[in-house]
Amino acid sequence: MFGTLLFALVHAANAADTDAVEASAELPAPVLIGGVVLVAAMVAVVLARKTVDGMLAASAVGAVTAMYLTVQHFVAMHGGSSVCNVSAVINCDKVNTSPHSELFGTPISLFGLGFYAGMGYLAYRARAGRTQAAPALLLVGACGAIGYDVFLAWISYQLGAICVFCALSWTLNVILLVGAAQLVRQMEPDFQTALGKSLVGDAGPAAAMGLSVFLIGVLVVRQQEAALLPGGGGEPVSSETGGFPPGLVENVRGVLTLDGTEPVRGDPAARFTIVEFADFECPHCGAFAPVLKKILSENRDVKLLFKNYPLSVVCNPHMEHAMHPNACGAAAAAECARIQGRFWELSEAMFDNQEYLSPQDISYMAKRAGLDVPAFEACVASPAAAEAVKADLDAGWRAQIDSTPSIFIHGAYGDKWVRLDVSPGDKDVITAFLDAARTGRALPVPVDPEPWPTE
């Protein structure tokens, strides 16, 4: 059942709009929060009427929530956005694409799905009278979940954002804890004896249920990711797409210009040149940084050039809304690190710690990256650093970029620059594209982008 529902949700997610990198609110905050509170209240009412039914309800709602978060992690990593991106603070994608959203490369929500399946199975066994000791194991499981929730809440605080659906799962875990405690009080054996019996009789079936659901979820997600890749069961192969996702390659809307100051990673004489416009406070840029690094390590004929495009009204005159307050300072810091030959070291540190981009935090990272900190801080405060950032912003404006990261590539279509419509989850797509260009196989025909909005 869980696998079937997850399969359907991922299929629906694949049809979602993946053009916008920055989130747009799809639901008003009162509606979103009110809906989540209503769901939690309904589960609490069921718990109050019959404890074990409340445990089952909490597990079921928790499983559905975990499935949605898994799908949304998948979508966000491919450039989509969640219905709960209401503001900079109420923003599921900022939390759901952070480095803490995965364990061993797997979304933590998938582990949550397995947890709720196991907890629901324990509650079912207790309700069916198959065990008298399961409440003890339910209590241990709920306590463990609450402990991990405290850690996740602290991470959300550090990120300066909260995922409403994550908060719903935390609430459900509290309900599970309350229900388990009530069931434990009703048990005839003492807690220690019951826990021992439950570990022997209940832990195995519950673990098998949770692991099975978790593995099904992993397989479904991996299968649907493969469907986005060439030959992976996605769009049919055509002469215009070369088997790649439609719209992968776009003509440059404006004109891409380089001034020679761009930091270079890889062989300067490499056949292919990738130019990335990025914002150090942009979650998708942070997720893309290690992907590009991996691509360069696996493709020695590719080099990467970086250009700043902070999405902040502090330095970007083309921004209409306040978005990333620390992005301009981080861009200036990156320029000063470039001057000292430490651009990539500092940029990696800033992408890895996007929640810590105050001037003091960046100075600490600069020291760890081996920079001369006094000279670095003087450079950051200088007009020259601001002018360098402005030059990159002007270049981005001339190229008419509308999101970050924006990826351009040269060398696949002769002397022509094109833009790749890719996201952090598209490493294999980029690799397949490079392989096709390298071996002379059919490449997608570049499509014209949407017209640049006029002011």
Q: What CATH number should be reported for the domain holding residue 270?
A: 3.40.30.10
Q: Which two tokens stand for residue 127?
A: 């309700």
State whether 212 and 267 are in the same domain: no
Return d(Cα 9, Cα 253) in angstroms, integer. 34
Angle between helical axes of 164-186 and 51-76 (0-180°, round to 10): 160
Do 394 and 337 belong together in one domain? yes
Asked if 212 and 277 sit in the same domain, the reply is no
Domain end point (choices 226, 260, 278)? 226
> Do residues 9 and 68 touch, judged by C-beta distance below 8 A?
yes
* Contact by Cβ (8 Å): 33, 154: no
What is the token pair recorded at 60? 């079921």
Closest CA to 122 of 112, 133, 111: 133
Residues, the chain: 455
Mean pLDDT of 28-40: 82
- Under the banding of pLDDT at 50, 70 and 90, the label for residue 10 is very low
Ramachandran angles phi, psi of 321, nearest 5°: -130, 145
Do residues 150 and 204 share a domain? yes
Q: Supply the pLDDT for residue 224.
A: 64
- For residues 426 and 21, give the distance between their C-alpha atoms in angstroms, rounded to a whole number: 14
First-to-last alpha carbon distance for the chain, in angstroms, is 50
pLDDT at residue 194 in the model:
81
**pLDDT level of residue 225 (50, 70, 90 thresholds):** low
Rounded to an integer, what distance in angstroms lies between the CA atom of residue 224 and that of residue 440?
Answer: 28
Beta bridge partners of 305: 264, 275
At residue 195, φ and ψ (nearest 5 deg) are: -65, -40
The pLDDT score that the predictor gives to residue 78 is 58
80 has pLDDT over 80: no
Residues ≥6 apart with Cβ < 8 Å to 194: 132, 133, 135, 136, 184, 187
Instruction: Give domain status of residue 450, yes or no.
Output: no
- The pLDDT of residue 16 is 37
How far is it, in rounded angstroms, from Cα 257 to Cα 214?
A: 48
Q: What is the pLDDT of residue 345?
A: 96
**What is the secondary structure of 15-43 as a DSSP string?**
TS----SS----S-HHHHHHHHHHHHHHH
Q: Are strands 272-278 and 264-265 parallel, antiparallel or unpaired?
A: unpaired
167 and 41, same domain (yes or no): yes
Question: Which position has the higher pLDDT, 297 or 15?
Answer: 297
Q: What confidence score (pLDDT) does residue 101 get?
A: 81
Do 219 and 257 belong together in one domain? Answer: no
Radius of gyration of the chain measured on its C-alpha atoms: 25
Average the pLDDT over 220-224 and give the result. 72
Q: Which two tokens stand for residue 39?
A: 């769901």
Same domain, 42 and 189: yes
Q: 403 lies in a domain?
A: yes
Check whether residue 100 and residue 192 sit in a common domain: yes
Average pLDDT over residues 30-39: 84
Q: Look at residue 244 and tell me if it is in a domain.
A: no
Residue 446 per-residue DSSP state: P
Tell whether 314 is covered by a domain: yes
Instruction: Report the number of distinct structural domains present in the chain.
Output: 2
If one compares 13 and 411, the residue with the highest pLDDT of the two is: 411
Among the listed ranges 133-137, 271-275, 377-381, which one has the minimum average pLDDT value? 133-137
Residue 285 near residue 334, CB atoms below 8 Å:
no
Average pLDDT (153-157) is 86
Q: How many CB atoms lie within 10 A of CB 193?
A: 13
| 263 shares its domain with 216 | no
Q: Measure the CA–CA gap between 54 and 42, rounded to whole angstroms.
A: 9
Asked whether residue 2 carries a pLDDT value surpassing 50, the answer given is: no
If one compares 221 and 51, the residue with the highest pLDDT of the two is 51
Q: Is residue 232's pLDDT more than 70?
A: no
Quick check: helix, strand or coil at residue 102?
A: strand
Q: What percent of the chain has pLDDT over 90?
A: 51
Most confident of 104-113, 205-214, 282-291, 362-371: 362-371
430, 248 Cβ separation under 8 angstroms: no
* Residue 302 lies inside a defined structural domain of this protein: yes
Q: Which amino acid is at 317?
A: P
Token output for 361 = 């935090």
CA separation for the pair 17, 206 (Å, rounded) = 38
Report the pLDDT averaged over residues 10-21: 38
State which residues form the domain around 174: 2-226
One domain for residues 280 and 425: yes
Q: For 183-196, how does the pLDDT look when each residue is reduced to its tens digit (9 = 90+)?
A: 888 877 788 888 88
- Is the bond leading into 28 cis (omega within 30 degrees of zero)? no
- Average the pLDDT over 237-250 and give the result: 70
Asked whether residue 241 is assigned to any structural domain, the reply reads no
Residues 394 and 430 in one domain: yes
- Across the chain, mean pLDDT equals 84
165 part of a folded domain: yes
The residues near 219 (Cβ < 8 Å, ≥ 6 apart) are 3
| Residue 136 and residue 127 in contact, taking contact as beta carbons nearer than 8 Å | no
pLDDT band at 259 (very low <50, low <70, confident <90, very high): very high
Task: Pick the more confident residue, 373 or 440.
Answer: 373
206, 328: one domain: no
pLDDT at position 15 is 39
Q: Does 151 reside within a domain? A: yes
pLDDT of residue 378: 97
